[in-house]
Amino acid sequence: MKKFVIVALEVAVFVALFFAVTAWQTRNLLATDRQAAPALVATSLQGQVIDIADSHGRPALVYFFAPWCPYCSASADNLVRLRKMRDVDELEILIVALDWESKGQIQQYANEHELNVPVLLGGSAIWNDWKVRGFPTYYVLDREHRVVRRDFGYSTQFGLWWRTWMTG
């Protein structure tokens, strides 16, 4: 019984630390109080102008990355699998490149990770409007494009699926 109590306390401390670190990391991101998400209009790698407002009426995952970020690279496959699990009609997924040197660098990243979702070329205005403070940062928006979830850092396939599934 004593061993069980010790293990339970250790698990409780770990969980508390995990949530404390997560709260600290996300403290300066957009609030999840169902306020409208900022505008997001950017050019894709294919040269299309993408406006997130065009996907109003369905939830969205907006994922910000930098091509040099190892955590972003580790997460890329999870985004590809999420797209295969969630049809475009039920979830918009946009990947926004920030802190990049050339379009070729982003194209190489997209090819390397076989990205199957729109990759947008973001700039400082998007960076500031969406309060991106590190990479990867992502937001989950509800059907009215209000911010309902946010996170920073690596997320597992299950974590991404769960966060977006809970939204709708």
Residue 26 clears pLDDT 80, i.e. is over it: no
Specify the fold of 2-165. Answer: Glutaredoxin (3.40.30)
| 3-state DSSP assignment of residue 89 | coil
For the whole model, what pTM was predicted?
0.85
CA dihedral 21, 168, 147, 93 (to 10 degrees): 90
pLDDT digits (tens, 9 = 90+) for 133-143: 999 999 999 99
pLDDT digits (tens, 9 = 90+) for 39-84: 999 999 999 999 999 987 899 999 999 999 999 999 999 999 999 9
Q: Where are the domains of the chain?
A: 2-165
pLDDT mean over 109-113: 97
**Which residues lie closer than 8 Å to 90 by C-beta, 6 or more apart?**
58, 59, 168
